[in-house]
Amino acid sequence: MRLHRRDFLKKMGITAATFGALPVVGYSGPTARSHSNPQKPNIIFILADDLGYGDLGCFGQKQIKTPNLDKMAAEGMKLTQHYAGSTVCAPSRCCLMTGKHTGHCTVRGNVDFLIKPDEMTVAKILRQAGYSTGCIGKWGIGHPSPPNGPRNNGFDFFFGYLSMWHAHNYYPDFLWKNGEKIPLRNVVRHPEKHYKKGQEDLVGLASKKVDYSHDLFTDEALAFIERQRRPFFLFLPYTIPHANNEAKQFGEHGMEVPDYGIYKDRDWPEPEKGKAAMISRLDRDIGRIFAKLKALGIDEQTLVIFSSDNGPHKEGGVQPDFFDSNGPLKGTKRDLYEGGIRVPTIARWPGKIKAGTRCEHISAFWDILPTFAELAGAPVPEGIDGISMAPALMGQPQRQYEYLYWEFHEGRSQQTVRIGDWKALRRAPSRPIELYHLESDIGEQNNVADAHPDIVARAKEIFSTIRTDADLWPLK
């Protein structure tokens, strides 16, 4: 017997008071109350690449040192149930930019397919609201991106990698700046067997290593902040701790970093030393960014959010279990289990976000666009999937989702939906639906699908109706 929606939500412990006036299929659009700052805040969104839920000290890491991010959490808010857009980079970034989940967004996998130039993005919205917009780091929303791809999608300034494949190499022989190739002092060897046909000049390993791209990104970010004279939005998608997947073709591991720093004498495998050093280097440079904000006297006018584009990888010679990179979660990059999509997220805004707080609001990358739009006093476009989480950041009552949905198309099509504390997952359209109760089983160890056929039926209905099909993204 099918449960009425109200009875179904009650069975899951979700009340009408929790949802307010939430529509049946999930809220889309701005929140009813405005929590915007009368003075538009500067906004910095820092994105790590393949950083696991357990890779930061403030999220339970015991061996890798991240003092600046730990301080950021102590001075701000930890978002413990925040999710990436996908379990790999390109679709995750597409969700972040467009406010749409992977059942609706344009780029749903790491393939040669691009975000559309006429799509609304968070950068376009903020630029229309009077913001100066900059993207520094890895663009990587599909391939092959035209030289002006980021600028066509709302960014006044861009410096970094256009291609996700090019971004594997931390010592490239060029980067892009506002549509122009900028040569670097590195000399790159290209593999005889190319990683991807047509990427001959993009993949490889440097034989002469001088300019470390991550360091260049930080320098450009500091310069961008320094020269702003009006509210700004800086999207800073670093590549750490992604691996150079082509290094193994030259007999080297892929965790490229100038030095191992405080980890050089540890009795660890070389790739693990590299990963730890990369994360600590990222942490060091985030400390430099906060120091710059304070030096310019704009710290209290600036919202900074830090997150990761997906869970930890198994590439470049590293093993996620070595540092317990996914913490209590099951799965890694390319999984739709929690470890592949739940990411360590911190928000800091002195005087606005209460220091030392923990937020358990269930949110995702597609919430970033409406959140930033609300804070900037800008209209939210129709047809997105996200809701503003500005109230949650400010410690105010927050609308909740009925459910959140993901799909992933590498090899086979996986789908997952989170409904309150329940998580349903189907690893292929022909496979049975798995069901986990996250509040009591965060590690997704006990499949209780047989005991809850009503929730499984609801998940199956969502899997069939929530998505829009597209030529490149059929369920397979």
Residue 474 confidence class, pLDDT cut points 50, 70, 90: confident
- Give the strand order in the sheet containing 132-138: 180-183, 174-177, 157-161, 132-138, 232-237, 42-48, 302-308, 345-348, 77-79, 357-359
Query: What's residue 196's pLDDT?
Result: 67
> DSSP per residue over 423-467, as a string?
EEEESSTTSPPEEEETTT-TT-----GGG-HHHHHHHHHHHHHS-
CATH 3.90.1150.10, domain 5-19+405-465, yes or no: no
Query: Exposure string (b/e) for 7-44, b if CB count within 10 Å is 16 or more?
Result: ebbeebebeeeeeeebeeebbbbbbeeebbbeebbbbb
CATH 3.20.20.140, domain 42-398, yes or no: no
* Whether the Cβ atoms of residue 139 and residue 92 lie closer than 8 Å to each other: no
* Whether the Cβ atoms of residue 221 and residue 136 lie closer than 8 Å to each other: yes
Neighbours of 356 (CB within 10 A): 10
Joined tokens for residue 179: 């549509």
* Whether the Cβ atoms of residue 437 and residue 447 lie closer than 8 Å to each other: no
Query: What's residue 24's pLDDT?
Result: 30
Residue 27 confidence class, pLDDT cut points 50, 70, 90: very low
| pLDDT tens string 395-417 | 999 999 999 999 999 989 999 99
Look-up of token digits 């584009």:
309
Residue ranges of the chain that CATH labels 3.40.720.10: 42-398
Residue ranges of the chain that CATH labels 3.30.1120.10: 5-19+405-465
Query: What's residue 2's pLDDT?
Result: 41
Residue 29 confidence class, pLDDT cut points 50, 70, 90: very low
> Which bin fits 204, alpha (ψ -120 to 50), beta or left (φ > 0)?
left
Pick the residue with more confidence: 199 or 459?
Answer: 459
Is residue 329 scored above 80 in pLDDT?
Answer: yes
Mean pLDDT over 129-156 rounds to 93
